Amino acid sequence: MGNMNLSEQEQIRRESLDELRKLGINPYPAAEYKTNVFAQDILDNYSAEKNNYPEVCLAGRIMSRRIMGNASFAELMDSSGRIQIYVRRDDLCPGEDKTMYNIVFKRLLDIGDIIGVKGHIFVTQMGEITVHVDEFTVLCKSIRPLPVVKEKDGVLFDAVTDPEMRYRQRYVDLIVNPHVRDVFRKRSQIIQSMRELFNSRGYLEVETPILQPIPGGAAARPFITHHNSLDMSLYLRVANELYLKRLIVGGFEGVYEFAKDFRNEGMDRTHNPEFTVMEIYIAYKDYNWMMTFTEEIVKKASLDLHGKTEVIFGENIINLNPPFKRISMTDAIKENTGIDISGMDEAGLRFVCDKLGVPNTPSMGKGKLIDELFGAKCEHNYIQPTFIIDYPTETSPLTKMHRSKPGVTERFELMINGKEIANAYSELNDPIDQMERFQDQLRLSEKGDDEAMFIDMDFIRALEYGMPPTSGMGIGIDRLTMMLTNQPSIQDVLLFPQMKPESQKSKVESQKEEYLVLGIPEEWIDPLKKLGFTTITKLKEIEKTGKLANDLNGYNKKNKLGISGLSPEAVEKWLK
RNA sequence: CGGUUCGUAGCUCAGCUGGUAGAGCACGUGACUCUUAAUCAUGGGGUCGAGGGUUCGAUCCCCUCCGAGCCGACCA
């Protein structure tokens, strides 16, 4: 008896699994399978004259099959790519016993199965480099049918594009959409490129706490968790900034961390609750130096990835060749709105916001209003890389005051494609100023700003011992990857983007006897279950017996079951 | 959180004014020793996202819920 919950194809594959075992073939062998080549190597380097691949051994997943009488073709996909294989019955089975071809290869293997093959290379009449298989080994039987994607002349047929399937079952996405694997290889290359640069400068890669007693370093709603033995709340970090600066206090010249941060905010095309940021802090530097360094980081990443500094993003071509434009926030607002806000007080700024239709609330102070203005009217216009510099003091509580301009701080954000990619400061190292800024944040919080920062007294204590002048920078790895791989959604650069859980269907079913007891004829039990009445409880809930009789008769007719018809009265008796 | 579109076979999708669903691929069986979106013949496969309402009858109309996408709000 097959399992009711399995599809026909799944049942057939499980039967194949059993048959393999009966033939003495372990469908999930334990032993190492030694390969000596990847598919792409062969395709790139094979030469018929040199016969440079006399004996190959490779392993991969069967992606397509073209079965003929006594010889077949299939495609094998390994981590490098796909290669065609050719299996001929009399080569595979030189003796009398043709089981391995006739039964195992033709009948028991399926698309999705993983096998290893040994053989030699030849070129078909159609000119395709192909592995002529002398021997194959079953390495893993797949019992769930894989979506079949076909391709001709570069055009895909039946490609899996449903985002829900792609993100929930990323493993399937990675199997059937090779370009997806490529995006994640590039993501890794970007991180590698940055790490190489930092290490070559002698900066130290470190790890700092993810579970923090105070969620400092950024203004964002945190996730809260609980530590049982300490019996205290802990927060998942929203940033690692304050810990990295403690390490600069401790005497390291430069420290960096590729960090997962967590923010309990909304999700959209550029936001995921957990995301990756690279933060770096370097002693004796300022934000001007850091701008140049940031240019170098971005340029190198692009060169390492593409060999050039121009990248295509959507409809735009972005030029990542330094120097990038630098413009102060005030000038940016002037450039985009024609309004010069320099020297304006809170009331003046609020008037400007209202005039331009920028939403604002009474709890917003000067800095916040400027920020809103920039976010609503300017940010999206900076497609080419642009450093926006000199942010208002109020919204930059960890940043040093500007050396000459009053009311602003030495801070920059790098905008590319209208989105923030990086954020950096000349770090505030005056402990008394820092304490006052924290207290300002506390006052904002009391005024109703739920994004204001917490006060971290231990961080103040560290600054009191003295932190050298330092510049720090954080760069959003997800967004940088999006930009460099031309992906419009953050979900496309995260292997496992956050999703709501799938609802689990209950699989409880009533037994046959329970139906019989009610006087339901045996032949009607299956139709009842098929119509959704998998439990007696569900059946008892029905009120219109006429409809049920109608449904059952309809099912009988449709499926040509040949059961004699039911009257509504008979059905009514079951449910009395 | 609001607006909007969507959810049908393993996959990609049709489905008319409401009458219990079709195709291609995939799968089963048979044929075929260079195929490649293999081909030819033939067959099976569906609680039409879940629940409720209207109706003699709902994949279709109405309501609620679940999940997804897009747009907006929020997220400096």
Residue A314 contacts strand B, CB under 7 A: no
**In whole numbers, what is the pLDDT of chain A averaged over residues?**
89
End-to-end CA distance of chain A: 32
* Token pair 């985009």 in the structure block, residue: A336
Residue A551 contacts strand B, CB under 7 A: yes
Residue A111 contacts strand B, CB under 7 A: yes
Name the protein residue, with chain letter, whose CA is nearest the C1' of B30.
A69
SS (H, E, C) A90-123: HHHCCCCCCHHHHHHHHHHCCCCCEEEEEEEEEE
Residue A530 contacts strand B, CB under 7 A: yes
Mean pLDDT on A199-220: 94
Could you tell me the pLDDT band of residue A542, with boundaries at 50, 70 and 90? low
Residue A171 contacts strand B, CB under 7 A: no
- What are the residues whose beta carbons fall under 8 Å from the beta carbon of A250, sequence distance 6 or more? none
Residue A103 contacts strand B, CB under 7 A: no
Residue A223 contacts strand B, CB under 7 A: no
d(CA A413, CA A379): 10
| Range from A2-11, A197-206, A350-359 carrying the lowest mean pLDDT | A2-11
Indicate the angle between helix axes A241-249 and A457-465, nearest 10 degrees: 30
Q: How far is CA A416 from the centre of its chain?
A: 21
Residue A167 contacts strand B, CB under 7 A: yes
Residue A15 has a pLDDT of: 96
* Token pair 């000199």 in the structure block, residue: A390
**ipTM for the whole predicted complex goes beyond 0.90:** yes
Segment holding A332, helix H or strand E: helix A329-337
Which nucleotide comes closest to A176 if you measure CA to C1'?
A: B11
* A560 phi, psi to nearest 5 deg: 50, 50
| Range from A125-129, A245-249, A331-335, A449-453 carrying the lowest mean pLDDT | A449-453
pLDDT in tens, A420-433: 999 999 999 999 99
d(CA A235, CA A212): 5
* Token pair 């339901």 in the structure block, residue: A520
d(CA A57, CA A36): 5
Give the residue among A157, A269, A130, A256 at the shortest CA–CA distance from A199. Answer: A256
Give the residue among A561, A563, A508, A554 at the shortest CA–CA distance from A531. Answer: A554
Which nucleotide comes closest to A546 if you measure CA to C1'?
A: B56
Indicate the angle between helix axes A287-306 and A477-485, nearest 10 degrees: 40
Residue A397 has a pLDDT of: 92
- What are the residues whose beta carbons fall under 8 Å from the beta carbon of A360, sequence distance 6 or more? A350, A353, A354, A369, A372
* Token pair 């490529």 in the structure block, residue: A182
Residue A238 has a pLDDT of: 94
Give the residue among A336, A304, A303, A348 at the shortest CA–CA distance from A321. Answer: A303
Residue A141 contacts strand B, CB under 7 A: no
Q: Is the pLDDT of residue A247 over 90?
A: yes
d(CA A251, CA A136): 59
Give the residue among A219, A212, A265 at the shortest CA–CA distance from A442. Answer: A219
Per 3-state DSSP, chain A is made up of helix, strand and coil in percentages (nearest 5) of 40, 25, 40
Which has more confidence, A446 or A260? A260
Residue A487 contacts strand B, CB under 7 A: no
% of chain A exceeding 70 in pLDDT: 87
Residue A560 contacts strand B, CB under 7 A: no
What ranges in A178-235 are assigned the alpha helix state H? 178-200
Residue A162 contacts strand B, CB under 7 A: yes
Residue A531 contacts strand B, CB under 7 A: yes
Which has more confidence, A162 or A541? A162
Task: Label residue A43 exposed, middle or buried (CB < 10 Å: 0-12, 13-18, 19+).
Answer: middle
| Range from A359-368, A510-519, A536-545 carrying the lowest mean pLDDT | A536-545
The DSSP letter of residue A154 is T
Q: Is the pLDDT of residue A475 over 70?
A: yes
Mean pLDDT on A370-384: 91
d(CA A442, CA A22): 72
Measure, in angstroms, how far nucleotide B55 C1' is from residue A550 CA.
14
Q: Is the pLDDT of residue A34 over 90?
A: yes
Residue A541 contacts strand B, CB under 7 A: yes
Q: Is the pLDDT of residue A507 over 50?
A: no
d(CA A271, CA A263): 9
Residue A368 has a pLDDT of: 87
Residue A540 contacts strand B, CB under 7 A: no
Work out the angle at residue A20's Cα, subtended by the Cα atoms of residues A14 and A24, and round it to the nearest 5 degrees: 145
d(CA A493, CA A486): 10
% of chain A exceeding 90 in pLDDT: 72
Residue A127 has a pLDDT of: 94
Residue A557 has a pLDDT of: 59
Which has more confidence, A293 or A346? A293
Identity (one letter) of the amino acid at A71?
Answer: A
d(CA A396, CA A366): 12
Which nucleotide comes closest to A269 if you measure CA to C1'?
A: B70
Residue A464 contacts strand B, CB under 7 A: no
Measure, in angstroms, how far nucleotide B10 C1' is from residue A44 CA.
34
Measure, in angstroms, how far nucleotide B39 C1' is from residue A163 CA.
34
Residue A448 has a pLDDT of: 67
Mean pLDDT on A26-41: 97
Q: Which two tokens stand for residue A278?
A: 């690279």
Measure, in angstroms, how far nucleotide B75 C1' is from residue A378 CA.
17
Indicate the angle between helix axes A346-356 and A366-377, nearest 10 degrees: 20
Q: Is the pLDDT of residue A541 over 60?
A: no
Could you tell me the pLDDT band of residue A5, with boundaries at 50, 70 and 90? confident
Mean pLDDT on A145-160: 91
Q: Which nucleotides of B are covered by protein (CB under 7 A)?
A: 1, 9-13, 20-21, 24-29, 31-39, 44-48, 51-53, 55-58, 66-76
Residue A525 has a pLDDT of: 67
Task: Answer yes or no: are the C-beta atoms of A409 and A394 closer than 8 Å.
Answer: no
Q: Is the pLDDT of residue A508 over 60?
A: no
Q: Is the pLDDT of residue A1 over 50?
A: no
Q: Is the pLDDT of residue A2 over 50?
A: no
Q: Is the pLDDT of residue A221 over 60?
A: yes
Mean pLDDT on A12-34: 97
pLDDT in tens, A49-104: 988 999 999 999 999 999 999 999 999 999 999 999 999 999 999 999 999 999 99
Task: Answer yes or no: are the C-beta atoms of A201 and A226 closer than 8 Å.
Answer: no
Could you tell me the pLDDT band of residue A561, with boundaries at 50, 70 and 90? low
d(CA A164, CA A170): 9
Residue A4 has a pLDDT of: 54
Q: Is the pLDDT of residue A186 over 80?
A: yes
Task: Answer yes or no: are the C-beta atoms of A216 and A239 closer than 8 Å.
Answer: yes
Residue A443 has a pLDDT of: 83
Q: Is the pLDDT of residue A546 over 50?
A: yes
Residue A357 has a pLDDT of: 84
